[in-house]
Structure 1
């Protein structure tokens, strides 16, 4: 079992590595369509089509008995909605609280909610006892996140104005935005747990991810209709053409969601989330260091590298309990 868990953690880290790359692709797509909602919609459509093909190849069908809907709680089908809410909320909170807190608060929310889900067995997750070793591991992961996102960023941008200036705390209303950011992390953790159980119910993590992406696509399509958005893909100013790779963000997101749905029943929600977050931060640092996919190149500090090491130690402690 220990070997299976170790392998699962490795897969979780690899899945997390995909998300920063997906962000680069979706950000470049946004430049061409002019709207974050349209960029997300195109990404979700691509992911849904990809998962449709994968599910057909793996399971022979994407269908399941209608009785499955009636026999299970309504929240089982809300994973895609939670994903869209999380994605959309980040768009709105960024100008309110700054980039640093937009990154750190949802991540912290994911870790806390993952701990709550595992401790109390929410969403039919396997219940796991909270002991000192596990708590210490979780605290180390949070410390690593703070070091990589906050301290590392301050050091690498020490000669530049801080992007956290709009959130210095003098306006009490900012705490509402911060609470919303933290709640976004709660929803993302719940999404992982829900999709994990849905995969068990449907007998397929691919089907679970397909359902989640289908729900998300429908929600984003409704938003686009309400806002009367029209898809027009153009080369942004100063660029002569659009790269072919900007359309594949949905595929990477689909692999991430399917991977989480597969791993949650094996590792538990908390450990799955922490493994994915380690991969996300590692991938983000790689994107910054090498300026991948037209992303701006930034220095990676020793503080950020050491913080990743702290996160790995924390995950090891959680896994060993």
Structure 2
């Protein structure tokens, strides 16, 4: 597996999400901010961190060549805000584990669709039965997690 470093980087990214979820939940409870206000402050912090990292890594910030970008390419931040808001709304009610499991399943289903179609210029990756079985296992795992919680709450 020659891409092990990228697998490890991806795992690190995955470790950050539940930590972020717990931190923003604590922020929301202690600050009195609503979920959408908490999302805003999260993105302000993210923008500052991105600036510092870009200055450290690239040495400067240059404006993008916006005239070469289509209007829809600027919507990524909007989608990120909706993503964060969705997990912040769900987690207090179904828990971080269930929230992230179902978010992960949604990500995997849509990523599989993107990979198999080459949507937005992504490299096409063949869809096969093993990938579909893998998605099925994630779904079954989610059902087991929900059943486990239901079983413990009803006893």
TM-score by length of 2: 0.80
CA–CA distance in 2 between the matches of 1:69 and 1:134? Answer: 37
Is 1:99 the counterpart of 2:97? The answer is no
CA–CA distance in 2 between the matches of 1:33 and 1:40? Answer: 13
Contact preservation (8 Å) 1:33, 1:39: no
Q: Give CA-to-partner distance per residue, 1:7-48, whole Å, 9 cap, x none.
A: 322221221111111111111111122122222222221121
Q: Which has the higher contact order (CA 8 A, sep 6+)?
A: 1
Task: Tell me the secondary structure at the aligned position of residue 63 of structure 1.
Answer: coil
Aligned to 1:30: 28
TM-superposed deviation, 1:113: 0.7
CA–CA distance in 1 between the matches of 2:5 and 2:142? Answer: 23
Contact preservation (8 Å) 2:116, 2:127: yes
Q: Structure 2 residue aligned with 1:71, among 68, 74, 96?
A: 68
Q: Tell me the C-alpha RMSD between the 2 structures.
A: 2.6
TM-superposed deviation, 1:82: 0.5
Q: Structure 2 residue aligned with 1:116, among 102, 113, 116?
A: 113
TM-superposed deviation, 1:61: 1.7
Contact preservation (8 Å) 2:21, 2:88: no
Going by fraction, where is helix more abundant, 1 or 2? 2
Task: Tell me the secondary structure at the aligned position of residue 26 of structure 1.
Answer: helix
CA–CA distance in 2 between the matches of 1:152 and 1:13? Answer: 25
Aligned to 1:316: none
Q: Give CA-to-partner distance per residue, 1:42-75, whole Å, 9 cap, x none.
A: 222112111110100101122234xx32222222
CA–CA distance in 1 between the matches of 2:19 and 2:103? Answer: 19
TM-superposed deviation, 1:128: 0.5
Is 1:154 the counterpart of 2:138? The answer is no
CA–CA distance in 1 between the matches of 2:126 and 2:12? Answer: 27
TM-superposed deviation, 1:158: 4.2
Contact preservation (8 Å) 2:102, 2:142: no
TM-score by length of 1: 0.42
Aligned to 1:18: 16
CA–CA distance in 1 between the matches of 2:75 and 2:39? Answer: 18
Gaps of 5+ in 1: 160-321
Q: Give CA-to-partner distance per residue, 1:210-268, whole Å, 9 cap, x none.
A: xxxxxxxxxxxxxxxxxxxxxxxxxxxxxxxxxxxxxxxxxxxxxxxxxxxxxxxxxxx
Contact preservation (8 Å) 2:35, 2:89: no
CA–CA distance in 2 between the matches of 1:134 and 1:91? Answer: 29
Gaps of 5+ in 2: none
TM-superposed deviation, 1:125: 0.9
Size of the alignment, in residue pairs? Answer: 151
CA–CA distance in 1 between the matches of 2:47 and 2:80? Answer: 14
Is 1:137 the counterpart of 2:101? The answer is no
Task: Tell me the secondary structure at the aligned position of residue 115 of structure 1.
Answer: helix
Aligned to 1:125: 122
